[in-house]
Amino acid sequence: MEKEKRVVKKSFRFTENEWLHIVNKCEIANLTPSQYFQKVATTGRVAKSDCVKEKQKYIGEIAMVGSNINQIARKLNSSEKIDTWMLNILLRIEQTLNERWLL
């Protein structure tokens, strides 16, 4: 079957914030804006498989944070005193979460 040539061209206007949001979604889906709009317009969504790589990255980061939290919990349960080392790690975890996930 011969692939149909795209001949209809349309343009849209966006605010800067809207465009940044769209570009971010395109990067996550590993698509150009044109490809992204074609998928969304024709299917109503972007295939989940397009975002798997990005999700795996975040899952790995969350797993590392979880591991750190488990280590801290073990340390806290083994003694009554919180040392400065432990407090610094907790503060770094909080800072990282705030920077990456805007908590």
What is the C-alpha to C-alpha distance for residues 73 and 67, in angstroms, rounded to an integer?
10
Residue 90: pLDDT band with limits 50, 70, 90 = confident
Domain ranges of the chain: 16-46, 52-101
Question: What tens digit of pLDDT does each residue of 6-62 get?
Answer: 888 888 899 999 999 888 888 877 889 988 888 888 887 765 555 666 677 778 888
CB-CB contact of 33 with 26 (8 Å): yes
CB-CB contact of 28 with 54 (8 Å): yes
Residue 67 has, within 13 A of its CA and on its CB side, a CA count of 6
